[in-house]
Amino acid sequence: MKKKIALVTGGGDCPGINAFLASAVRRGSKEYGAEFVGVRNAFAGLASDNPEQFLVPLDIDSVVGLENRSSTILESSRFNPFTDENVARGYPEKMQANLRKLGISGILGTGGNDTILSASRLEKTGFPTVMAPKSIDNDVSGTDVMLGFRTAIYFGAQAARSTADSARAHRRISLVEVMGRQAGWLALEIGVASGADLITIPEREVNLTELCAEVKNIYVNKKYVNLVVAEGTSIPYDDPVITRARKESAVVRALLEESPELDTFGNPKLGGISQILRRVLIIELGLKKIEEVRTTDLGFTLRGLPPQADDINLGIRFGIRACDILLAENRSGVMVGINGLEIKEVSYEEALKPKTVNRSDRELKALGVFISSH
Ligand code: F6P
C-alpha cells in the first residue's frame, strides 16, 4: 500500500533544510512510490485543531529547484507538544489523532535538539519518525556538522572580515556578535576564518579585567582590535568590572536587569552581550569617544541565507538516507548524521547529548579564543 509521509521542519530555520525536503520527496516518490505532504509550522501544525490548513502537498514537480532556496518553505515553530501543560491539554493525543485522520504513516523532518526531543517523544508513543540535524549552532551530537552550519560559517566569516577591515580603517575596536546558544562552534569558526584577534565562547567564562587588559594591549599596539563574541558568552555578573559598568551605563543596567525570556523548551533568548562588552571596554579602557568601540550583530542574517553547495549536498544526502531508513528498512527513531564523509545514523538519545566546544585550552588559545587565567 502507498505510504503517506509527513515532512516537518522545526526550530530555528537555516540554509539546507529545503535541500533535505526536495531530496526526501524525490527519493521517496521515485524509489518507494510514497506520497509526501509538508506540514507548516512543524508540531504546531500537526497538533492544531485544523491540521488540513497546514498541509502542503509535495511531489517531484513541486520540489524542482527547491534545493537552492533559503530558510524552509514549510515555515517553522518552537511549539513543544510535550510540555506538562500541553500534555495536560491533550496535544500528544490530538497530534496522533490528526496523523491517523490524515492517513500519515511516518514523519521525516529536520530539527535541532528541541525538535529532535519532540520527535523522540512522538516515537515513544509508537509513531515512526526519522530526523536530520539542522542548526547554525552545530550543537547536536552524533554528527560532525548540522545543516546550515557550513553556510553560516562561510558568510559569517566574510561579514566579520569586512567589519575587521572597517575597524582597521577607523582605528576602532570592533565586536561582532554571533548566535550559537550554549555552544561556541559558530563564534569559533567565524572568528578563526575572519582572523579575529580575540574570540569569546560560552564554554570558557570570561574574566573581564583580563579581557579588557588584553584588548587594551592589542589596541595600543595595533590601533584596532577585532573580537568575535558568541551570544552565549558567560561573564560573571558579580565581577567588579560589571558593577562599575552597571553604575556608569544605563544601557548596561537595562540589559542586565532584563530577565531573559524563555522559549517553550526553557531556552533563554540570548543576544546583546556585545552591547554590554562595548560599554565595559569604553569604561575600563578610559576611552573618550564612544565610537571607538562598535558592534555588529550578525544574528538572523546567518539563518536566512541561501545554502552553499556544502549544505545542499548534505541536505540531499540526509534526505536520501532518512527515506531509505523509514521506507526501505522500515526503521525509525534515529537521526541521520555525517562523520567524516560518511552518512551515519544515531539514536535520538545519543543525538540529544549536547555538543559544546571540546577542544583543549592550548588549541583554543592558539586559535584566538580568549582563555581567562583566573
Ligand atoms: O537555535 C538556533 C538559534 O538561532 C540560536 O542560535 C539562537 O539563540 C536561537 O535560535 C534564536 O531563537 P529564535 O529564533 O526563537 O529567536
Q: What is the DSSP string of 55-68?
A: EEEE-TTTTTTGGG
Closest-CA residue, ligand 1 atom 1, reads: 12
Looking at 16-30, 209-223, 245-259, which range is the least confident one?
A: 245-259
Characterise 76 by phi-psi region: left (phi > 0), alpha (psi -120 to 50), beta (else). Answer: beta
pLDDT tops 90 at residue 226:
yes
Closest-CA residue, ligand 1 atom 16, reads: 269
Closest-CA residue, ligand 1 atom 4, reads: 12
Residues near 218 by Cβ (< 8 Å), separated by ≥ 6? 197, 198, 225
The angle formed by the CA atoms of residues 307, 312 and 314, to the nearest 5 degrees, is: 125
Cell 530577565 belongs to which residue?
259
Give the atom of ligand 1 at the shortest distance from the alpha carbon of 232.
Answer: 8
Interval between CA 203 and ligand 1 midpoint (Å): 18
Neighbours of 130 (CB within 10 A): 29
- Cα–Cα dist 298/230, whole Å: 10
Q: Please, what is the average pLDDT of the chain?
A: 96
Interval between CA 135 and ligand 1 midpoint (Å): 9
Interval between CA 137 and ligand 1 midpoint (Å): 8
> What pLDDT does residue 259 have?
81
- Cα–Cα dist 316/324, whole Å: 13
> What pLDDT does residue 263 have?
86
Beta strands 293-297 and 173-178 are: parallel
Quick: pLDDT tens for 251-281: 999 998 888 888 888 899 999 999 999 999 9
Interval between CA 308 and ligand 1 midpoint (Å): 20
153 or 266: which leads in pLDDT: 153
For 239, half-sphere exposure in the C-beta direction (CA atoms, 13 angstrom radius) is: 20
Give the atom of ligand 1 at the shortest distance from the alpha carbon of 231.
Answer: 8
Of 13, 137, 139, 324, which residue is the catalytic one? 137
Give the atom of ligand 1 at the shortest distance from the alpha carbon of 179.
Answer: 6
Residue pair 185/175 in contact by the 8 Å Cβ criterion: no
Closest-CA residue, ligand 1 atom 3, reads: 12
> What pLDDT does residue 254 have?
92
Looking at 54-63, 72-81, 248-257, which range is the least confident one?
A: 248-257
Q: Give the phi and the psi of residue 238 in degrees, each rounded to 5.
A: -95, 10
Give the atom of ligand 1 at the shortest distance from the alpha carbon of 303.
Answer: 4
Residue pair 6/42 in contact by the 8 Å Cβ criterion: no
For 228, half-sphere exposure in the C-beta direction (CA atoms, 13 angstrom radius) is: 34
What three-state secondary structure class fits 37? strand
User: Residue 77: is it exposed, middle or buried by C-beta count within 10 angstroms (0-12/13-18/19+)?
Assistant: middle
Give the atom of ligand 1 at the shortest distance from the alpha carbon of 180.
Answer: 6
- Cα–Cα dist 337/342, whole Å: 8
262 or 114: which leads in pLDDT: 114
The angle formed by the CA atoms of residues 68, 71 and 72, to the nearest 5 degrees, is: 95
> What pLDDT does residue 261 have?
87
- Cα–Cα dist 363/268, whole Å: 29
- Mean pLDDT to the nearest integer, 301-330: 98
Closest-CA residue, ligand 1 atom 15, reads: 12
Is residue 137 annotated as part of the catalytic site, yes or no? yes
Interval between CA 14 and ligand 1 midpoint (Å): 10
Closest-CA residue, ligand 1 atom 2, reads: 12
- Mean pLDDT to the nearest integer, 357-363: 97
Identify the residues whose C-beta falls under 6 Å from ligand 1: 12, 78, 112, 135-137, 179-181, 231, 263, 269-270, 303
- Cα–Cα dist 221/171, whole Å: 11
- Mean pLDDT to the nearest integer, 66-72: 98
- Cα–Cα dist 278/45, whole Å: 41
Residue 6's pLDDT band, with cuts at 50, 70 and 90, is: very high
> What pLDDT does residue 365 have?
97
Residue 369 is classified by DSSP as B
> What pLDDT does residue 264 have?
85
> What pLDDT does residue 1 have?
81
Helix (H) or strand (E) holding 99: helix 91-101
- Cα–Cα dist 323/333, whole Å: 13
Tell which residue, 12, 19, 300, has the closest CA to residue 156: 300
Residue 84 is classified by DSSP as H
Cα-based distances in Å from 334 to 9, 16, 96, 160, 249:
16, 20, 19, 36, 49
- Cα–Cα dist 343/213, whole Å: 45
Mutation choice for ligand 1 from 179, 185, 201, 231, CB with most ligand atoms inside 8 A: 179
Cell 537521526 belongs to which residue?
335
Beta strands 198-200 and 55-58 are: unpaired
